[in-house]
Structure 1
Amino acid sequence: MSDPTFGISITRIDNEPRPPVWSDMSVVGIIGTAPDADASVFPADTPVFLYSDDAAKLTALGDAGTLKDALVLLNAQLGEFQVAAKVVLVRVEDGVDAAATIASVVGDGAQTGLSAFRRAGPEIGMIPRLLCAPGFTSQRTGAEANPVCAALPPICEKLLAHAVVDGPATTEQDAIDWREKISSSRLIPIDPAVKVYDNGVSVVQPASPAIIGIGVRRDHEKQGRPFHSWANQPVQGIVGPSRPISFSLTDGATEGQRLLSANIGVLLRGEMGVESAIGQGGFIFVGTDNAGEDDLWRFYNVTRGRDFIHLMLLRTLRFYLGRFNVTGQTIQAILNTMETGLRNLKADGDILGFELKFTRDQNTPEELRQGRFTVSFAAEEAPVLRYLGIQSARYRPALDALLDDLLAQVGTITG
């Protein structure tokens, strides 16, 4: 439309920084069995979204298998003002034995098993970023790694997700041997399992749904921001760990401390009257690490936080593609947009600081001519506090002060 000869023209100027668009990092993905499930509601190898308190879908899921128990344990961890968790379920068929069922969980690498989580975004509009396969991550054959633990990292990389994986829950050495077979910053190893009360008896169940439930609760407490650890948090809905883990806050020569040094999160028992215990009562999860090799990215709250930042940049900056030409104004608007998101995270204490740069050595005239330019950012996520050193000494100046007081009060006595 041409401008009028006699009239008014209004042009909207759209060069302000965009508000940051955040992603939901607390959508849970659970894969497992439910042999009594209604196949029309939960078709095999298909991602199905539900709220964890959806009574109709819980009924359709049936009580048998691993999925129903996982949802119950997950729900037990939700906190104040939380009604339910967002969950993507993938049901696999029961095999003739454990090995066959594990093969179903692993899937074909394209459509079935764990790969079904990759279809969740396009098919149901939810991307799970906290995954678990309760009951299927601890089994090993000889010196081989667990097949599910081996298959999870590439799935997590594609989804920008983390998976909580259960150890063998048998002995300390078994847990260490199991841990030695996994290596990924996307995996969060834990041990042992939990005991829950079911129909009058205590039964052992994998702990991963409970730990993920704690993660959902912690994210909720922090307005959805995943920069905080799940350590030193109570585990609800259980009657105890599957086996006791010895632990002391002041002594590294305990099973709990050894497992923690191997990056394995542990479930501990509080002990009334024991100052070196993790708490006075209840059952408490302690775990800060992922199973990666790089100590720079050791804490899962740091790796989850960096995923959160990257996803924010993707969702926020895609607005500029194709809508704007490469000009100084466009580049400045993008930098200002990035600064807004990072500044918000710093104000909330999620990152300690950041830096944004647009430099000549990263950008050439030829690149700009092709509609391409590069900006760089650096940020420092706040690390979790996991060690506090206290130095204790005598304080001689207090005696000087005492002498001064005595001299002032008594002075010189003469006869």
Structure 2
Amino acid sequence: MATAPVFGTIDQRFSDEPVALGPVDFSKIAFVSTSTGADDTLFPAGTAGDASSFKAVRFSSSDVTFTSKLGTGYLADAVAAVNAQIAPGSQAADITVIRCAEGTGGDTAAKLVTTQANIVAGLQVLKAAPSSINATPRLVGCPGYTAQRTGTDANPVVAALPEVLSALLAIAVVDVDDSNRDAAIDARETIGSDRIMPVGVAARVFDTDGATVITRPMAPRILGLISRADFQNGGKPFEPFANRQIHGLVGASRDIAFDLRDGSVEGQQLLAAEVSIVVRGEVDVDGAIADGGFVFIGTDNCATDGDAWQQIHQVRGADAIDVEHQRATRQFLGRKISASDAEAWINSLKFNLRDHKAGNDILGYKVEFKPDENSPEQVRAGRLTVDLGIEEAPVFRVAKRNVRRYRQAVTDLVADIAARINASAIL
């Protein structure tokens, strides 16, 4: 430590101002699944019981060094699905894949059980992956293995997702049984998480030969759509993504009846059960969602009834603010508690919310420091508490028009006629 001069100057710098917060990126995607024919060196196939056999591989979705070695299975299709949704001006998506080994067994059912066990183990690897890949994926998919159920049991992969999603502050889009309405709703009833969005229809796309049409999971395409919506919103995860086109589809696994005005049709019933859908546009048809293309419709997760966090874009927005506030707060931890430092910390949070309000990310906010929540004993122990009220912007889902006859218009018409006739009589 330098000795202070007896005769001279002393310069000191203080950091008691609010800290600036940079944006957080919530558009990174992770897929945990199988992929037939993938390169075993670059993408080793992990198995349950051997955590070291898994490898989280992060790459740009435009990098053919990686995409050309993904084989022809679900992971390869998922990356292609994301690329089909890329927004104009964007070049690629940030993707992490964890390849899992396909199961072994005497029959198809036994193979599925071991495959799903491998994927559940792969999800645990994903949970610990951020430190090794230097990124935190916030959009998660397990394409190909979330729709199957045994009897009335929940799908084991879907059942394993909430723990991992909560740890990553991520959400997942999962495919559920798309055979019919009741099967999709039955599957949704086994899910209870505000971080999971089920989709009840699969995608019809061209196979890698460019000629054969095959059925593939819809979930990766929705995840690509979410990433696209983030990009179009300056990288922020506050924007809803319903009523947007899904690109790269030849068709859907089945046509779902939908009418904007009729709550009794199948599409509306699925939405009421928090099952998202993709429907075809129709030209000059009243009640159609669009004139053409294939449109995604979905806003809700699988939270319990009455949950304030039913709309999944609001969960993502709240997660983003949580991360931003954590990053701001860690810069103050370890300092002594003083009025100036406490004010700087609280203003950092307040100014962050001010910027989100100005950007229409949230409807409003309130920041309070309450003395009765900060007792001398708590402060002596190094604890400060601040109360935040934040209202995330909801999605516009229902437009209601109250239409009545307007008698005043007739009165005005009579007055206009009278004025004209009286004026011509004078002439």
TM-score range relative to shorter protein: over 0.9
Q: Which runs of 4+ in 1 moved over 6 A?
A: none
Counterpart for residue 310 of structure 1: 322
Contact 1:272-1:279 within 8 A present in 2 as well? yes
Structure 1 residues 91 and 108: CA distance shift in structure 2, 3 A: closer
Counterpart for residue 182 of structure 1: 191
Q: What is the alpha-carbon distance in structure 2 between the residues aligned to residue 392 and residue 231 of structure 1?
A: 27
Q: What is the alpha-carbon distance in structure 1 between the residues aligned to residue 286 and residue 36 of structure 2?
A: 47
Counterpart for residue 91 of structure 1: 99
- 1:298 to 2:310 alignment: yes
**Which range moves more in the overlay, 95-104 or 192-201?**
95-104
Counterpart for residue 80 of structure 2: 72
> Cα distance, 1:250 vs. partner?
0.4
TM-score (normalised: structure 1): 0.96
Q: What is the alpha-carbon distance in structure 2 between the residues aligned to residue 178 and residue 14 of structure 1?
A: 53
> Cα distance, 1:58 vs. partner?
1.2
> Cα distance, 1:21 vs. partner?
3.5
Q: What is the alpha-carbon distance in structure 2 between the residues aligned to residue 358 and residue 335 of structure 1?
A: 8
Residues 117-150 of structure 1 show CA distances to partners (whole Å, capped at 9, x for unaligned) of 1122111111111001111001011110111111
Q: What is the alpha-carbon distance in structure 2 between the residues aligned to residue 7 and residue 98 of structure 1?
A: 83
Structure 1 residues 376 and 108: CA distance shift in structure 2, 3 A: same
Counterpart for residue 123 of structure 1: 132
Q: What's the secondary structure of 1:36's corresponding residue?
A: coil
Equivalent residue for 1:141, pick from 139, 146, 150: 150
> Cα distance, 1:79 vs. partner?
0.6
Amino acid at match of 1:180: E
Residues 275-316 of structure 1 show CA distances to partners (whole Å, capped at 9, x for unaligned) of 210000000000000011143110001111111111111112
Q: What is the alpha-carbon distance in structure 2 between the residues aligned to residue 367 and residue 331 of structure 1?
A: 14
Contact 2:311-2:394 within 8 A present in 1 as well? yes
Residues 219-252 of structure 1 show CA distances to partners (whole Å, capped at 9, x for unaligned) of 0111111111110000000111110000100000
Q: What is the alpha-carbon distance in structure 1 between the residues aligned to residue 119 and residue 85 of structure 2?
A: 33
Counterpart for residue 49 of structure 2: none
- 1:355 to 2:356 alignment: no
> Cα distance, 1:196 vs. partner?
0.4
Alignment of 1:255-270 (within 5 A): 255-270=266-281
Counterpart for residue 392 of structure 2: 381
Amino acid at match of 1:197: F
- 1:15 to 2:16 alignment: yes
Q: What is the alpha-carbon distance in structure 2 between the residues aligned to residue 105 and residue 356 of structure 1?
A: 45
Residues 155-204 of structure 1 show CA distances to partners (whole Å, capped at 9, x for unaligned) of 10111110101011111111111111111101001110010022312111
Q: What is the alpha-carbon distance in structure 1 between the residues aligned to residue 129 and residue 231 of structure 2?
A: 22
Q: What is the alpha-carbon distance in structure 2 between the residues aligned to residue 401 and residue 50 of structure 1?
A: 68
Contact 2:116-2:156 within 8 A present in 1 as well? no
Counterpart for residue 27 of structure 1: 28
Q: What's the secondary structure of 1:320's corresponding residue?
A: coil
> Cα distance, 1:105 vs. partner?
4.1
Q: What is the alpha-carbon distance in structure 2 between the residues aligned to residue 106 and residue 218 of structure 1?
A: 33
Counterpart for residue 38 of structure 1: 39
Q: What is the alpha-carbon distance in structure 1 between the residues aligned to residue 112 and residue 396 of structure 2?
A: 40
Alignment of 1:82-231 (within 5 A): 82-96=90-104, 97=108, 99-101=110-112, 103-107=114-118, 112-198=121-207, 199=209, 200-231=211-242
> Cα distance, 1:366 vs. partner?
1.4
Structure 1 residues 209 and 244: CA distance shift in structure 2, 3 A: same
Equivalent residue for 1:398, pick from 409, 418, 423: 409
Amino acid at match of 2:40: A
Counterpart for residue 333 of structure 1: 344
Structure 1 residues 99 and 133: CA distance shift in structure 2, 3 A: farther
> Cα distance, 1:102 vs. partner?
5.0
Q: What is the alpha-carbon distance in structure 1 between the residues aligned to residue 355 and residue 425 of structure 2?
A: 68
> Cα distance, 1:399 vs. partner?
0.9
Q: What is the alpha-carbon distance in structure 1 between the residues aligned to residue 112 and residue 131 of structure 2?
A: 26
Q: What's the secondary structure of 2:68's corresponding residue?
A: helix
In structure 2, stretches of 5+ residues that fail to align are 47-53
Q: What is the alpha-carbon distance in structure 2 between the residues aligned to residue 167 and residue 177 of structure 1?
A: 9
Q: What is the alpha-carbon distance in structure 1 between the residues aligned to residue 70 and residue 361 of structure 2?
A: 38
Q: What is the alpha-carbon distance in structure 2 between the residues aligned to residue 148 and residue 364 of structure 1?
A: 46
> Cα distance, 1:379 vs. partner?
0.2
Q: What is the alpha-carbon distance in structure 1 between the residues aligned to residue 70 and residue 291 of structure 2?
A: 38
> Cα distance, 1:413 vs. partner?
5.5
Counterpart for residue 50 of structure 2: none
Contact 2:24-2:236 within 8 A present in 1 as well? no
Amino acid at match of 2:308: L
Residues 21-72 of structure 1 show CA distances to partners (whole Å, capped at 9, x for unaligned) of 4322111010111232222211232211011111011122222x21101111
Q: What's the secondary structure of 1:61's corresponding residue?
A: coil
Counterpart for residue 419 of structure 2: 408
Q: What's the secondary structure of 2:394's corresponding residue?
A: coil
Amino acid at match of 1:36: G
In structure 1, stretches of 5+ residues that fail to align are none
% identity of equivalent residues: 38
Amino acid at match of 1:202: V
Contact 1:47-1:119 within 8 A present in 2 as well? no
> Cα distance, 1:98 vs. partner?
5.4
Amino acid at match of 2:199: I
Counterpart for residue 320 of structure 1: 332
Amino acid at match of 2:123: L
Q: What is the alpha-carbon distance in structure 1 between the residues aligned to residue 89 and residue 168 of structure 2?
A: 28
Contact 1:270-1:284 within 8 A present in 2 as well? yes
Aligned length: 410
Q: What is the alpha-carbon distance in structure 2 between the residues aligned to residue 35 and residue 188 of structure 1?
A: 26
